[in-house]
Chain A
């Protein structure tokens, strides 16, 4: 970033200014840009979630504000700003007011070391992975504060559950990330991406069977850390109403809400950097990318695509999986994920020492083939089911003939679907 600061200073013809002032100015602008980007990503994801939910449940989702309802999140933001900031009479006022701040700071500050592109990173720390794991833990503090300060039993239970869940699942996720750190020999996210390549067989995901399993361990525990379904017990609406944020309204609620959705993108972005080759483009070396702004733009786009796909999977999970029970949740973490992630770590270390280079190539190829085959079968099954349902219910059925919204049509087609399947349960 210091280099960037100097280049900008030269470009502006301001070499005369004190170096520190230029650096401070650049850092300030970068921080502002990152904060804006995070807010936008989180906002768009709240819209995406509702669209995905709509599609999954064969309904439309928000489609009124802007094209495809895209500006829904702006409308929601404006609505939340004009709502009263309710503080219950029995609440601890100071803690209640402060609680959203740790959540937002924890998630926002984490985005500082997310490598959006080869040059597009606010702070390329040499302890990047450790920093990410540490700073996101701030969320626990805010959640506990919110839960206790609300003086509401739902909130208290939700807050305590959430704290237990986040700290428990942190251990497997840190260990799974360690598997990659061990292979790359660095904690810097740019360094880890640099050790991978653009093609799938150059990703750490397919490096060997241990990293392949480690990815799923990381993803599962990261989803649990973000309090997302199937691990959303802290917010379980059917038992705790809304968990720790039940008493929150207006912009304070928006703080928790945006934090949750920014976290969805954050976990996908970290997974992309650690396992999916980050901004690496197939067939383009990092040096070639560094030399050409066009390739860099492509790299940024590729990173956004990979992370966006990950975020989509997290949203999709929420509308597909049923929720776990509290005892199953802790059992899953300490009985299965924790020993497994230790095994993957030692397996990786032994792999580095025991397997010669030629055998490593073979294993890498085999893992890639098997991994891609598994992914292919999965995608085929998904499309098979979509098509199968599509025979009865069109995904576009609510649009009608002329492209306008027609609720009657949806009712009619759904009725036909039900009539056709009326005998299914009997036979």
Chain B
């Protein structure tokens, strides 16, 4: 197990080194200063900066993600021990999902999932 974790660490380091090495070569041989450095916006002159606030409704998506992802993580230990926990465990998870379902219906009723 320890060596497995060490393997992961080494692989992560390699994953960092490979693009690092791949980027070092162009730094040596690739040409420099051949292109215009303005943002590419289909040949139009960029209007303003992209550092702007815009409502893309994505903050709601990330809130929903946090809710559901945390719930899913709670389900993992139960799933592994399903056979040991038996009916009591099953009904507890059903309760858990029912409460989650009520929240889901609330989200639907609040029209949080509608785009407009």
Across-interface contacts of B42 in A (CB, < 8 A): 241
Asked if A125 is at the interface (CB within 8 A of a chain B CB), the reply is yes
What's the Cα separation between A187 and B6 when bound, in Å? 19
Contact A27 B72 (CB under 8 A): no
What's the Cα separation between A100 and B20 when bound, in Å? 10
Contact with B along A18-41 (1 / 0, CB 8 A): 000001101110111011000100
Contact A171 B61 (CB under 8 A): no
What's the Cα separation between A307 and B100 when bound, in Å? 35
* Chain B residue at minimal CB-CB distance from A83: B30
Contact A171 B115 (CB under 8 A): no
Which one, A296-304, A334-342, A379-387, is touching chain B?
A: A334-342
Contact A334 B30 (CB under 8 A): no
Across-interface contacts of A330 in B (CB, < 8 A): 61, 113, 115
Contact B80 A31 (CB under 8 A): no
Q: Is the interface of B mostly helix, strand, loop or mixed?
A: helix
Contact of B82 among A2, A108, A254, A349 (CB under 8 A): A349
Across-interface contacts of B107 in A (CB, < 8 A): 334
Contacts of A165-214 to chain B: CB distance below 8 A: 167-168, 170-171, 174-175, 178, 181-182, 185-187
Contact of B41 among A124, A154, A174, A338 (CB under 8 A): A154
Across-interface contacts of B22 in A (CB, < 8 A): 81, 251, 254-255
Across-interface contacts of A101 in B (CB, < 8 A): 16, 19
Q: By the criterion of a CB under 8 Å from any partner CB, how many residues of chain B are at the interface?
A: 69
* Chain A residue at minimal CB-CB distance from B4: A123
Across-interface contacts of A87 in B (CB, < 8 A): 37
Asked if A357 is at the interface (CB within 8 A of a chain B CB), the reply is no
What's the Cα separation between A39 and B107 when bound, in Å? 43
Contact with B along A328-352 (1 / 0, CB 8 A): 0011001100110010011001101
Knowing that A153-B41, A160-B58 touch, tell me 15 more A-B residue pairs with CB under 8 angstroms: A1-B3, A26-B3, A84-B26, A84-B30, A101-B16, A111-B11, A112-B8, A123-B11, A150-B39, A156-B50, A185-B83, A251-B22, A350-B90, A352-B82, A352-B83
19 interchain pairs, CB-CB under 8 A? A31-B11, A35-B11, A81-B26, A108-B12, A112-B8, A123-B4, A123-B5, A125-B4, A151-B51, A164-B56, A167-B62, A168-B65, A171-B65, A181-B76, A187-B76, A241-B42, A342-B101, A346-B93, A353-B87
- Mark A residues whose CB is within 8 Å of B: 1-2, 5, 23-24, 26-28, 30-32, 34-35, 39, 81-90, 100-101, 104-105, 107-109, 111-113, 122-126, 130, 150-157, 160-161, 163-164, 167-168, 170-171, 174-175, 178, 181-182, 185-187, 241, 246-247, 250-252, 254-255, 326-327, 330-331, 334-335, 338-339, 342, 345-346, 349-350, 352-353
